[in-house]
Amino acid sequence: MLIDIHGNPIKSTKQLEQQQSDESQLAHLHQHIDEHPTSGLTPTRLATILKEAESGHLISQMELAEDILEKDAHVYCEVEKRRKALLCVEWDITPPRDATPAEIEDAQMIKQSLDDSMLMDDAILDMADGIFKGFSCLEIKWRKDNNQWVIDDLLFRPQSWFQLNPENREQIMLRDNSLLGAALQPFGWVVHQHKAKSGYLGRAGLVRQIAWPFLFKNLSVRDLAEFLEIYGLPLRLGKYPSGASKEEKATLLRAVMSIGHNAGGIIPKGMELDFHSAAVGGAEPFEAMISWCEKSQSKAIIGGTLTSQADGKSSTNALGNVHNEVRLEFRNSDLKQIAATITRDIVYPLYVMNGSTYQSERRLPRFEFNLVEPDDMKSVADSLPALVGLGARIPVNWLHDRLQIPIADKDEAILGTPTVEPAKPKQAELVALSAKATLHKIKQLSDEHDAPSQFAKQLGAQMSDNLDAMNQAIYQLVEQANSLDELQTLLADTHLSLDDVTELMAQAMATSELAGRADVANEAESEANE
């Protein structure tokens, strides 16, 4: 016998194929037409609706919530921000801790089943309806496919279909016109109870925090409309003579009421029409009240005001970022609550009925959202080399998780550091550098002493032809080579004749030595003569 996560038995699989809402005793729910409690809503009526919800009668409070979303564009916008943000986060089915290969295979089977159904985005959005109303219920439509139970549809059911069990105000029951209501069928429902605040289910929805600002804003908007209708119009005062009949009085009244808009009219002779100063005042008090109500609503729904509206005074970028962080905290909290519901009411039934490794409700795959926000890639890249240099042992997997970069498989192509070849200097530049270095060396030597300077000039003039020939040969090799390594090879394989250069250098060295000896002898003779 199958049992749900709460231990409630399922007597037969035929019970899964029959939807509970199709039963004859619940047919009246499909015929239910919502009332509109916001029409003519007063503080007394609102207090009555909230008290009824506390006692377990949720219809009026749920209809009030639906009315507010339809009539108040600001509330609808803020609620939809919070709901739609949940669809931007990826989800996965995580196997149990230290999972066996069979348990991992079961988790992959459940994920594939949910992916194939293409129902999860709508289901998450429908469950998020409970943020504002306190809870949300989806009826599961099962189907047998190749000996495997799959979810064919998840049908959103209005909150007005339900009531609370008078004996247990945390238990949601279907309204079947009985005192206690009908218990929800095991494996037949996704029941998401969203704790916007702690407390009994009837008091957990955000609608209770939004209802009072909505009422005050509604009254202020009505008063503002009346003020704008009469603002700038003079007070018309009609005077009728004594003894006037009811018909004459009615005629005068119609003239007084119409003359302001029509700028003209007629009255019987003998009657008077006086104009007094126009109505004075401004719309600022009404707008201030409306602004306060909307800011209160924004704070209750998304935790701040700077991500929804700016007043031009306190709306700085820093404060906006702080308010946005609060909004992300709200989003993560909503996702964690929804993930727990999906694990309990969707993943668990699929695992029990189709999995091969089920042991107990304490060890099962879990539905989880990826709530890790990637770190700034530039700041991490700048700081990690210094930390590694100090000896920090940082796992590669941790870096991939922080940056939200997947780890490549063995056969996948990966990015790498591009190889930059050293720039090849132009051939003419090599020759020019060689000639320039030679001339610079000769000039440096020639500047030291006068006699050596003369020898150097003579040597340079005699060797210029030989050096030009060598430079021309080297220039041709540079033109042929495509890289420095190839140029080195060509130079090693090329034989350059140095006989003439060697003979000139030998003569220059001999001449220099003789000149040096002569200088020494001349200096010695001069000293002797002195």
| Percent of the chain residues past pLDDT 90, beyond the cut | 32
- Decide which of 297 and 464 is more confident: 297
Least confident of 143-152, 268-277, 419-428: 419-428
For the cut 80, the answer to whether the pLDDT of residue 500 exceeds it is: no
| Gyration radius of the chain over CA positions | 46
Of the pLDDT bands very low, low, confident and very high (cuts 50, 70, 90), residue 161 is very high
Q: Which residues contact 273 (CB under 8 A, 6 or more apart)?
A: 236, 237, 238, 239, 252, 255, 256, 259, 267
- pLDDT, the chain, mean: 80
| Residue 188, number of CB atoms within 10 A of its CB | 21
Residue 204's nearest CA partner among 260, 132, 256, 274 is 132
pLDDT at 150: 93
Highest-scoring range by mean pLDDT, 236-245, 330-339, 445-454: 330-339
Of the pLDDT bands very low, low, confident and very high (cuts 50, 70, 90), residue 139 is very high
For the cut 80, the answer to whether the pLDDT of residue 55 exceeds it is: yes
Rounded to an integer, the average pLDDT of 422-448 is 53
Report how far residue 66's alpha carbon sits from residue 161's, in angstroms, rounded to the nearest whole number: 14
- Decide which of 520 and 174 is more confident: 174
pLDDT at 174: 92
For the cut 90, the answer to whether the pLDDT of residue 24 exceeds it is: no
For the cut 70, the answer to whether the pLDDT of residue 365 exceeds it is: yes
- Decide which of 106 and 327 is more confident: 106
pLDDT at 423: 55
Token digits for 266? 């007629």
- Decide which of 312 and 271 is more confident: 271
What's the N-to-C CA distance of the chain in angstroms?
134
pLDDT at 382: 78
Residue 32's nearest CA partner among 66, 56, 55 is 66
- Decide which of 515 and 42 is more confident: 42
Phi-psi region of 36 (alpha: psi -120 to 50; beta: other; left: phi over 0): beta
Token digits for 460? 């340079």
Report how far residue 500's alpha carbon sits from residue 76's, in angstroms, rounded to the nearest whole number: 98
Which phi and psi (to 5°) does residue 178 adopt?
-105, 170
Task: Name the 3-class secondary structure at 38.
Answer: coil
Highest-scoring range by mean pLDDT, 20-24, 75-79, 377-381, 423-427: 75-79
For the chain, give every domain's residue range: 15-209+318-369, 213-289, 379-408, 427-529
pLDDT at 127: 96
Rounded to an integer, the average pLDDT of 451-467 is 66
Digit-coded pLDDT (tens) for 312-341: 555 555 555 555 677 788 899 999 999 999
Report how far residue 521's alpha carbon sits from residue 524's, in angstroms, rounded to the nearest whole number: 5
For the cut 80, the answer to whether the pLDDT of residue 229 exceeds it is: no
- Decide which of 436 and 2 is more confident: 2
Rounded to an integer, the average pLDDT of 392-414 is 80
Report residue 114 CA to chain centroid gap: 24
For the cut 50, the answer to whether the pLDDT of residue 446 exceeds it is: no
